[in-house]
Amino acid sequence: MSAPRPVHILILSGPNTNLYGLDPHGPYGALTLDDIAQACRARAQAQGGSVDFRQSNCEGELVDWVQQARGTADGIVINAGSLSYTSIALRDALAAIAKPAIQVHVSNVFTREPFRHHSPLSAVVTGCVFGLGPEGYAQAVEALIARIGRTD
């Protein structure tokens, strides 16, 4: 019996997530996006997987990356930032590629402004992680690798 094929996860982070760590007392904590990427790589590697971590402030670029994942990734972890609440384009791209995906919100959106209580992306992703801080990214990676490993 051969060893299982490594699972490759695309992690996408949207607008303003590149500013994580600038206000350690704010809702996103002290870790930078680079710190989060390193933690995700380590968590994936511990499970025999790999990640490609990308950030963009541009909706179109995120949509392009989701579409490209159809041929390059086994699953997607996405923190679309403020686009989580507005982007039908990202929702449609995630639905179209039919890959397992987990949506991440670093803060607990249900303790924040009412407009954050609904995300069009949530209807087309496999699951959501919210309110666990930056650790939510790594937990989403771990959960997604475990889920994909069960279905291969």
CATH of the domain at 99: 3.40.50.9100
Task: With a cut of 50, say whether residue 152 has pLDDT above it.
Answer: no
In tens, the pLDDT along 77-99 reads 999 988 998 899 999 999 999 89
Runs of H (alpha helix) within the chain: 33-46, 59-72, 88-97, 135-151
In a domain? residue 2? no
Instruction: Give me the number of domains the chain comprises.
Output: 1
pTM: 0.90
Task: With a cut of 60, say whether residue 103 has pLDDT above it.
Answer: yes
In a domain? residue 82? yes
Residue 38 · residue 137 · CB < 8 Å:
no
Asked if residue 18 belongs to a known ligand binding site, the reply is: no
In a domain? residue 121? yes
* 105 in catalytic set: yes
Domain residue limits at 17: 8-151
In a domain? residue 3? no
In a domain? residue 35? yes
In a domain? residue 101? yes
Asked if residue 79 belongs to a known ligand binding site, the reply is: yes
* 28 in catalytic set: yes
